[in-house]
A and B are shown apart, each in its own frame.
Chain A
Amino acid sequence: MDSAASGIQEPFDLIRLSLSERVFVKLRGDRELTGVLHAYDGHMNLILSDVEETIMIVDQVEGSANGQNTVNIAKRKIDMLFVRGDGVILVSPPLRT
């Protein structure tokens, strides 16, 4: 069935489908989250459980040209997390293999 027939009317309907599913969340400040979505609201505030946060730390090497940056990745795990909506860039179901 095509998406037009399914009548998805607003974007939040898609997020609703991901309730209690694992989602991928991209945040401002070079952060990414994956976790199980428990709740959301119109501000895109999210409540996630079993979260893994990935933080990209970009180190600009002194005196070198642009593009010479090194990227460090820090990861941490959080059991339960409240994400404030103003930092959310995107929410998507995790890529399926």
Chain B
Amino acid sequence: MSFFGFDEKNLESEKRRFLEDAARGAQEENLAVYTWGEDSYDGLGDALQEGDDELNDETFGGAGEVGKDFDFSGTALPGDSRTKPSEPANAQSLPRYQVVEQPATRTVQSNQPSRTNHSLESVWDDKSPFSVLPRMNGADRTAEHAHQPAKASTFATAPSQHSNLHQSIGLSLGGNAHKGVRTLEEIEAEMLAAAAARQMQLHAQAQAEAQAQAQAQTQALPQSLSQAQLTQAQLSQAQMRAQPPRQGTPQHGLTPPPRMHPHSQSPRFHQQQQQHQIHILQLQQLQQQQQQQRLLELQEQRERQQQQQLRELQQQLRMEELERQRQLRLQQMQAGAASHLQSQAIHQRHGSLSPSLSDRNLRRGQSPAMMNPRAQMEAPFQQSMQYLPQDIQLQQRLLAEMAQAEFMNNMQAGVQSEREAREEREMQEVLRQEAMRKIMEAEKSEEKRRRKLAKIAQARYNDLMTQSDKDFITRIQVSQLVTQDPYADDFYAQVYSALLRSRLGVQPEDERVLKFGSAGGVGLGFGQKGPGRRQTAMQRMEAQVERIVQNARLREKEKTSLNSLQGALGKTSGRSYKAAPRQLLQVDSTSPSLSPAHAHISKADVTPPRDGAGATREAANIGRRALRTTGDGEVTVRKEPLTQREALMILERLYDLVLDIEQHKREEVPTEEEEAHTAWSEHLSYLTDQLWKGLQVSVILETSEPHPFVSLLTPIKGKRLLPRVARHLGSDQLRILLTLILACFTQLDVVKHAPILDSLHDTRERREVEDQTQTFVGSVVQTLLPLIAKTDMHMTRAYLGILTDRPDAVNVLRTGPGIALITLFLSRVAVLKQNMATATEASEIPPPEELAAWQEQLDHLFEIVGPHILTLFPSVRIGIVSGLGFANVPNADVLDQPVWQFLASLAVHANSEQQSLLVTALREVILELVSSVHKGWDIDPEERKTRLNNINLFLHALGLDASQITV
């Protein structure tokens, strides 16, 4: 334990030397050493008294009153501290008188050894880091002393004060120095000895006290003089002791020092705190012990006074003292590591060993000095550490902790057994390692943080902008974002986020739009997925924007009242950044409901629909006419078909309408506000009506070839429009739409251009048709799917009839969409038949004539399909066109799959005769495919699997399996 600069050997030798010096000094200089109440007092003081005793009576007038006052040790203990000031004042009046009379040489001389003592002590103390506090206290003490006598004395002259001051300093310091070298162990030993001695002397004590009182008049004047001064010094010391904790370390009682704050977050700090608490507990125990010691010492001191009178006992005590010192040395050798304990003990003994203080401690229970052992401990640390770089501080703290741990070990070592101590030490070791680790971590993060801070601090343009500047810029930026219709202006982000959310299955929250009343708002894009810095940044931005807009609105209000400034001096700026930029082009929009870009697409473009007929009747009409296949001379106004550009224009208008409807639906008024709600729904129905009319579905079939609606379906965006339109249409309207599509099926571009697909040449045209076909199946057929899934048998039969009762029905079957639709109808009927088998209610069973009609329809289909079964397969058609074998056509199985599905669904409905017809027609194909699968021509397993699946699809419908076929 040498990190405090302590060297125990030094300590020991120093102490020894010091003791010897003191003894020698006392012997050599007869006059000066005032060692009253010390165990090493050799009674020289007694010799001093011999002189002018007779004058005492003259000087003080009477001896009677003096008596008890000088027995400070007797009165100090039980008495109140408040009475004290008066006592020393009394006492001072005596000695000072004497000091004045007696030459100053005595005091000067008496100062010398005490000074050497002092210097010795300071040398001693300098080696300890704790020396900071006591030294400071010492310095303060002198200052206090300088005040104290001045206040106390009423008549003292300046030189007397001076000498008195010196004396008191010398005395107090000398006494302290003498005591300061004693260690805790020493005190303990003393205690033991004293306890033994006291037992013996208890009876003698009372007697001695009485004797002391009696002697006070005659014998003990110088003694009482020095005692009085001593008491005064002790008193002031006691005051000092009470003060330093408050003065020196005020932060402990009130607020933690500033540099403690960052550490309050670190885990290490808590540990430190814990250790501190343990430490405090132990220190309190120590303190209690010390208190007891002080008590005992007090008595001891009293004893020592008696020793002066009871010399025979003194002899014995000296023997004990010698013994004690020998023990002390031994103990010090053992407890060498507890160096700072020692130093601490020294500090505490500096003042607190005086009887008056121990009195106070006793009476208050806990003196400030006792309350703040930690303060005493820490104050020097922190004071010294504040000036050190943090790294060193950390190390020092670590060292201090280690020292504390060591100290605790030593403390416990004396009390606990060796084993316990070892366990304790191991635990301490673990704790220390843990602490070490945490310190390292803390250091690292601290380092990082500091580097960052340094970087920030060194940035060149720090604090260039004030908060209002920043707000100003944000306002400008936000003002660019605020729009009348935040949703529409942020449309794609909004829709995309809605799609994302629905795909992720997240509850669709309200639109991510900040609305500011009716004035406008800011679109916020779509929400971020995970939480994170961006998320919080976004939230902060939202809050900020809201605040800014709020402020802006307030300012706007103020601005209206700004007109009151009219006539005021100075220039008021009317325009600001908020003024809208000057528009380069100012185009008058004809209808405000439309955006200027397409306002031209007027309603006149849309052919006015035939009014009157209800939707269902319309559908029935179309169906009837389609079924009859020939118009019965009904007069219709024939028109030229829509040109491409007209169709596109109508489509643009329809898209606008759809968007309007979607927007209108988002702005749904709650049903509570009846009036507004009816207005809203009226407008909605108006818009949907416009949409329906715009689609031109109700235009009679013969109006043009192709039908206007078919013209609208021709561009790819027309096909894509249908699913969006369908959402806003009723099921009746959709049924009409389906009927129309079926009736005009051959007019559709995908049907007309289907032969283009039967080629292997990758032309742009083919790609275009392929795209269109895919879009048609994906959009139009998908839209109609749920509708078909709900039709009854009659309607299904009607639909199938519309599709197939035409001379070129085979062409329909040779298209992807056609095959898909017919397959849909067939499977729908299959489902209906199944339901019929399990149906319990008569209403669900279609009438027999209906079934017969269905069978009739099916027979018709067979008639159409029968001769052309093979050419239904795209692969076969491609094979014919390109001259390849159908099995060699690339990707044939995928192309043929819908056809196999169609054949399978056909086979389900077929009777045995028809089934055999199907099998005969397909026999060759199936055999070739199966053999190709088995022989494993150059086809990969994936392809083979699809091929087998295709065949099985059909064969399973017949109750067969591909594995049954042997090639």
| Interface pair B598/A6, CB less than 8 Å apart | no
Beyond A20-B716, A20-B717, is A13–B598 a contact (Cβ under 8 Å)? yes
B600 adjacent to chain A (CB < 8 Å): yes
Beyond A17-B652, A18-B648, is A9–B599 a contact (Cβ under 8 Å)? yes
| Interface pair B600/A8, CB less than 8 Å apart | yes
Interface set, chain B 674-705, CB cutoff 8 A to A: none
Give chain A nearest CB distance to B587 CB in angstroms: 7
Bound CA–CA A93/B605 (angstroms): 21
Q: Which of A6, A8, A18, A21 has the most CB of B within 10 A?
A: A6
B644 adjacent to chain A (CB < 8 Å): yes
Against B, the Cβ 8 Å flags (1 = close, 0 = not) of A3-24 are 0011111101100111111100
| Interface pair A7/B600, CB less than 8 Å apart | yes
> Which residues of B sit under 8 angstroms from A8, Cβ to Cβ?
600
Partner of B600, one of A9, A18, A96: A9
Against A, the Cβ 8 Å flags (1 = close, 0 = not) of B591-616 are 00000111111101100000000000
Interface set, chain A 40-89, CB cutoff 8 A to B: none
Partner of A6, one of B590, B605, B720: B605
- Total residues of chain B contacting the partner, CB 8 A: 22
Closest Cβ neighbor of B655 among chain A residues: A19
Give chain B nearest CB distance to A40 CB in angstroms: 10
> Which residues of B sit under 8 angstroms from A20, Cβ to Cβ?
715-717, 720
Give chain A nearest CB distance to B828 CB in angstroms: 33
Beyond A20-B716, A21-B716, is A1–B602 a contact (Cβ under 8 Å)? no
| Interface pair A10/B717, CB less than 8 Å apart | no
> Which residues of A sit under 8 angstroms from B644, Cβ to Cβ?
93, 96
Partner of A13, one of B600, B715, B716, B768: B600
Beyond A6-B649, A17-B649, is A1–B716 a contact (Cβ under 8 Å)? no
B645 adjacent to chain A (CB < 8 Å): yes
| Interface pair A19/B587, CB less than 8 Å apart | no
Give chain B nearest CB distance to A43 CB in angstroms: 12
Against A, the Cβ 8 Å flags (1 = close, 0 = not) of B570-605 are 000000000000000001001000001111111011
Bound CA–CA A19/B656 (angstroms): 13
Give chain B nearest CB distance to A49 CB in angstroms: 11
Bound CA–CA A56/B320 (angstroms): 120
B321 adjacent to chain A (CB < 8 Å): no
> Which residues of A sit under 8 angstroms from B717, Cβ to Cβ?
19-21
Partner of B604, one of A5, A13, A93: A5
| Interface pair A7/B587, CB less than 8 Å apart | no
Q: Which of A7, A16, A18 has the most CB of B within 10 A?
A: A7
- Total residues of chain A contacting the partner, CB 8 A: 18
> Which residues of A sit under 8 angstroms from B715, Cβ to Cβ?
20-21
Q: Which of A1, A8, A10, A17 has the most CB of B within 10 A?
A: A17
| Interface pair A21/B648, CB less than 8 Å apart | yes
Bound CA–CA A22/B764 (angstroms): 11
Give chain B nearest CB distance to A75 CB in angstroms: 13
Give chain A nearest CB distance to B80 CB in angstroms: 97
Bound CA–CA A5/B649 (angstroms): 13
Closest Cβ neighbor of A3 among chain B residues: B645
> Which residues of B sit under 8 angstroms from A9, Cβ to Cβ?
587, 596, 599-600
Bound CA–CA A37/B653 (angstroms): 18
> Which residues of A sit under 8 angstroms from B601, Cβ to Cβ?
6-7
| Interface pair A10/B587, CB less than 8 Å apart | yes
The DSSP consensus for interface residues of chain A is loop
B185 adjacent to chain A (CB < 8 Å): no
| Interface pair A16/B652, CB less than 8 Å apart | yes
| Interface pair A16/B598, CB less than 8 Å apart | yes
B646 adjacent to chain A (CB < 8 Å): yes
Give chain A nearest CB distance to B657 CB in angstroms: 15
Q: Which of B590, B598, B652, B720 has the most CB of A within 10 A?
A: B598
Give chain A nearest CB distance to B13 CB in angstroms: 91
Give chain B nearest CB distance to A65 CB in angstroms: 38
| Interface pair B597/A16, CB less than 8 Å apart | yes
Closest Cβ neighbor of A8 among chain B residues: B600
> Which residues of A sit under 8 angstroms from B649, Cβ to Cβ?
6, 17
Closest Cβ neighbor of B720 among chain A residues: A20
Bound CA–CA A7/B74 (angstroms): 122
Beyond A9-B599, A16-B598, A17-B648, is A1–B587 a contact (Cβ under 8 Å)? no
> Which residues of A sit under 8 angstroms from B590, Cβ to Cβ?
7
Closest Cβ neighbor of B768 among chain A residues: A22
| Interface pair B600/A6, CB less than 8 Å apart | yes
> Which residues of A sit under 8 angstroms from B600, Cβ to Cβ?
6-9, 13
Bound CA–CA A10/B601 (angstroms): 12
| Interface pair A1/B605, CB less than 8 Å apart | yes
Bound CA–CA A13/B646 (angstroms): 13
Closest Cβ neighbor of A17 among chain B residues: B648
Bound CA–CA A7/B649 (angstroms): 11
Bound CA–CA A39/B549 (angstroms): 32
> Which residues of A sit under 8 angstroms from B598, Cβ to Cβ?
13, 16
Against A, the Cβ 8 Å flags (1 = close, 0 = not) of B237-248 are 000000000000
| Interface pair A1/B646, CB less than 8 Å apart | yes
Interface set, chain B 595-652, CB cutoff 8 A to A: 596-602, 604-605, 644-646, 648-649, 652
Bound CA–CA A1/B604 (angstroms): 10
Beyond A17-B645, A17-B648, A21-B648, is A7–B597 a contact (Cβ under 8 Å)? no
Give chain A nearest CB distance to B592 CB in angstroms: 15
Bound CA–CA A6/B601 (angstroms): 7
Closest Cβ neighbor of B605 among chain A residues: A6
Give chain B nearest CB distance to A8 CB in angstroms: 5
Give chain A nearest CB distance to B655 CB in angstroms: 9
Give chain B nearest CB distance to A60 CB in angstroms: 32
Give chain A nearest CB distance to B658 CB in angstroms: 14
Give chain B nearest CB distance to A48 CB in angstroms: 15
Bound CA–CA A68/B715 (angstroms): 44
> Which residues of B sit under 8 angstroms from A18, Cβ to Cβ?
648
Bound CA–CA A21/B716 (angstroms): 8
Closest Cβ neighbor of B715 among chain A residues: A21
> Which residues of A sit under 8 angstroms from B602, Cβ to Cβ?
7
> Which residues of A sit under 8 angstroms from B720, Cβ to Cβ?
20
Bound CA–CA A72/B646 (angstroms): 39
Bound CA–CA A93/B652 (angstroms): 16
> Which residues of A sit under 8 angstroms from B597, Cβ to Cβ?
10, 12-13, 16
Bound CA–CA A9/B594 (angstroms): 14
Against A, the Cβ 8 Å flags (1 = close, 0 = not) of B189-230 are 000000000000000000000000000000000000000000
Bound CA–CA A17/B648 (angstroms): 6
> Which residues of A sit under 8 angstroms from B645, Cβ to Cβ?
17
> Which residues of A sit under 8 angstroms from B596, Cβ to Cβ?
9
Q: Which of B649, B715, B720 has the most CB of A within 10 A?
A: B649
Bound CA–CA A96/B648 (angstroms): 15
Against A, the Cβ 8 Å flags (1 = close, 0 = not) of B509-552 are 00000000000000000000000000000000000000000000
Bound CA–CA A1/B648 (angstroms): 14
Interface set, chain B 806-837, CB cutoff 8 A to A: none
Closest Cβ neighbor of A12 among chain B residues: B597
Bound CA–CA A7/B717 (angstroms): 22
Bound CA–CA A13/B215 (angstroms): 128
Closest Cβ neighbor of B717 among chain A residues: A20
Give chain A nearest CB distance to B933 CB in angstroms: 37
13 more contacts with CB within 8 A, not counting A8-B600, A17-B645, A96-B644, are: A1-B605, A6-B600, A6-B605, A6-B646, A7-B601, A7-B602, A10-B597, A13-B597, A16-B598, A17-B652, A20-B716, A21-B717, A93-B644
23 A-B residue pairs with CB within 8 Å: A1-B605, A7-B601, A7-B602, A8-B600, A9-B587, A9-B599, A9-B600, A12-B597, A13-B597, A16-B597, A16-B598, A17-B645, A17-B648, A18-B648, A19-B652, A19-B717, A20-B715, A20-B717, A21-B716, A21-B717, A22-B768, A93-B644, A96-B644
Interface residues in chain A, defined as those with a beta carbon under 8 Å from any beta carbon in chain B: 1, 5-10, 12-13, 16-22, 93, 96
Closest 4 CB pairs of A and B: A7-B600, A17-B648, A20-B717, A9-B600
Interface residues in chain B, defined as those with a beta carbon under 8 Å from any beta carbon in chain A: 587, 590, 596-602, 604-605, 644-646, 648-649, 652, 715-717, 720, 768
